Amino acid sequence: MMTTLTRQDLNFGQVVADILCEFLEVAIHLILYVREVYPSGIFQKRKKYNVPVQMSCHPELNQYIQDTLHCVKPLIEKNEAEKVVVVIMDKEHHPVERFVFEISQPPLLSISSETLLSHVEQLLRAVILKISVCDAVLENNPPGCTFTVLVHTREAATRNMEKVQVIKDFPWIVADEQEVHMTEPRLIPLKTMTSDIVKMQLYVEERAQKAS
């Protein structure tokens, strides 16, 4: 059974956004675990997509990540989010690694609903697995790193975000140039996934010399 839906079919847009935001939440937690941004003691094994993943238990960290994604979700619904980037910075706030999730959604969606979601789940599982082993291709980070999440949007979507605070007291600001661009990064592709509802590419930009 094939159905053709358009972007205006907001129900479906919301479904895709929900899936992606859930995935991004798991991915961010996993990145924090694998790259040792936080001590592994705060992480706990949980289950997502039928496989074990590490999620943090720290309430404020979790709240921060959830708030962040809550604000990103409307952008994804409208297909205005081009990239979601998890930037890991050293003590001087210079980025050492950037995990870039490039997201694109086809404007016209043809889907067959029976196996769609389980197929998407399988693809997301593969991305999660790739993140788990990414430390084989990356160098160790210096101690005391922090992280932040950047969203690259298409066109002028951010202007609305600044005007309308989706979450009270959780403002989004335009990112500093130094967080956005890294000088001479090494590009390490991790995974590409293509499905009927979304295409995603995950790669890492790594600074050549991490220990400053």
Residue 186 lies near other proteins (rule: CB under 8 A):
no
**Cβ neighbours of residue 29 closer than 8 Å, sequence gap 6 or more:** 43, 53, 54, 55, 56, 65
Site for other proteins in 95-114 (CB under 8 A): 113-114
- Comparison of 64 and 184: residue with beta carbon closer to other proteins: 64
CB of 111 to other proteins, least distance (A): 9
Task: Identify the bridge partners of residue 193 per DSSP, sorted by sequence position.
Answer: 200
- Comparison of 82 and 121: residue with beta carbon closer to other proteins: 121
Contact at 8 Å (CB) between 182 and 72? Answer: no
Residue 174 lies near other proteins (rule: CB under 8 A):
no
Residue 148 lies near other proteins (rule: CB under 8 A):
yes
Among residues 59, 60, 55, the alpha carbon closest in space to that of 25 is found at 55
**Distance in angstroms (rounded) separating the CA atoms of residues 193 and 5:** 21
Taking the alpha carbons at both ends of the chain, their separation in whole angstroms is 56
Determine which residue in the list 12, 82, 102, 201 makes contact with other proteins, applying CB under 8 A: 12
Among residues 189, 55, 85, the alpha carbon closest in space to that of 127 is found at 189
Among 102-110, 145-153, 178-186, 203-211, the segment contacting other proteins (CB under 8 A): 145-153
Determine which residue in the list 24, 29, 72, 73 makes contact with other proteins, applying CB under 8 A: 73
Q: Is residue 61 packed enough to be buried (19+ CB in 10 Å), middle (13-18) or exposed (0-12)?
A: middle
Side-chain-side CA neighbours of 51 within 13 Å: the count stands at 15
Residue 170 lies near other proteins (rule: CB under 8 A):
yes
CB of 129 to other proteins, least distance (A): 5
Pattern 44-63, binding to other proteins, x per CB under 8 A? xxxxxxxxxxx--xxxxx-x
- Comparison of 129 and 193: residue with beta carbon closer to other proteins: 129
CB of 14 to other proteins, least distance (A): 6
> By CB under 8 A, how many residues form the interface with other proteins?
72
**Distance in angstroms (rounded) separating the CA atoms of residues 118 and 128:** 15
Contact at 8 Å (CB) between 187 and 203? Answer: yes
- Comparison of 39 and 184: residue with beta carbon closer to other proteins: 39
- Comparison of 132 and 192: residue with beta carbon closer to other proteins: 132
Residue 164 lies near other proteins (rule: CB under 8 A):
yes
